[in-house]
């Protein structure tokens, strides 16, 4: 998986090289990204909802896993 800082650094270098007078595909892609804000916003929104659902699911599973041993010890007779 490509890390976000690597993507940002690549876009920045492409922009800098383009401003120095050497056109390149990275700069063109970065410049045209502004024309697709609705699509990018949709993807980011869906990604955020999926991430929140995954975090919620993980918390539920962990809480259920912790609750089971406590129930088992609570049903044992006192000594």
Q: Label residue 37 exposed, middle or buried (CB < 10 Å: 0-12, 13-18, 19+).
A: exposed
Whose CA is closest to 14, among 33, 40, 39, 35? 33
Minimal CA–CA distance to 29: which of 45, 44, 7?
A: 7
The pLDDT value given to residue 4: 81
The model's pLDDT over 22-76, given as tens digits with 9 standing for 90+, comes to 988 888 887 787 777 888 889 999 999 999 999 999 998 888 876 555 555 555 6
> Which band of pLDDT confidence, cut at 50, 70 and 90, is reported for residue 79?
low
**Angle of helix 25-32 relative to helix 4-19, nearest 10 degrees?**
110
Q: What is the pLDDT of residue 62?
A: 86
């Amino acid at each position: 998986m490509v890390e976000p800082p690597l993507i940002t650094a690549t876009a920045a270098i492409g922009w800098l090289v383009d401003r120095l007078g050497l056109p390149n595909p990275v700069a063109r892609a970065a410049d045209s990204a502004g024309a697709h804000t609705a699509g990018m916003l949709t993807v980011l929104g869906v990604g955020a909802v999926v991430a929140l659902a995954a975090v919620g699911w993980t918390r539920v599973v962990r809480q259920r896993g912790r609750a089971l041993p406590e129930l088992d010890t609570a049903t044992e007779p006192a000594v």
